[in-house]
Homo-oligomer: A and B are copies of this chain.
């Protein structure tokens, strides 16, 4: 079965719209874009649509890459801007990490600032679904992945360890998606094998351990397989490598599973983008309540 994110995104948007409707003042999100990278323009267009659908004002600001830091600082200082979204890559190298730290963490609706990442790694976030102010912000893509798995029955939605008894393999250990995702899922009770081009790590209880498990062994033991490898040279996951009843999810723009593997999966989730954007909008509300409300 193929499970697209639209239904799940619609549900979260409805929740957010209800909250926005009860608001005293409109919220505003600023998107910051540099250059002509087509996927970034597409993402910006989606963000605009999602914001306007929810009654959030959206403004796209374009700047040359060398002026982008200044544009971020302007938006940080502007009391009319409630949330900021930067469409990476800007420089396409480690300078992009620098820019993530320039965004004021109190307007960082993507949850990419080290303030939020450190809180996540310390497992200091509190229940994200409780109607409380001052909740921690977690990065949108990992959160969207959890929500998609939950909506498709591959992840518990409540309780102390909603992912207990789950074994998960993740191909991607980037600082913005794969590593936070491994930490979050293992904090929720899952056993997580995390692969990047340098090899595997095992995450349990939020902590990484060395392991020499092979790709084949990890896949054969997993109920959930998540991929995010932006390279066509990655050997696609094949049907014979997967367990029966495995839920598979790919968040890369490149196909990481063979067509046969996608077919064989109990559920195949080909993308999470709309849920990611919904999570950003939810973060906008949370940051407003935590830091900006007068």
Contacts and interface: CB of A to CB of B under 8 A. Distances in A.
Given A101-B114, A114-B101, A114-B114, A94 B209 contact: no
Interface in A205-249: 207-210
Contacts of A174: 94
Interface in A95-151: 95, 97-98, 101-102, 114, 117-118
Secondary structure at chain A's binding surface: helix, strand, loop or mixed?
mixed
Contacts of A22: none
- As for how many copies of this chain the complex holds, the number is 2
Nearest to A70: B207
Contacts of A198: 91-93
Contacts of A94: 94, 97, 174-175
A74 interface: no
A140 B198 CA distance: 29
Interface string A167-200: 0000001110001000000000000000010100
A66 interface: yes
Q: How large is the interface on A (under 10, 10 to 19, 20 to 34, 35 or more residues)?
A: 20 to 34
Contacts of A97: 94, 97, 175
A66 B114 CA distance: 19
B114 A196 contact: no
Interface of A: 64, 66, 91-95, 97-98, 101-102, 114, 117-118, 173-175, 179, 196, 198, 201, 207-210
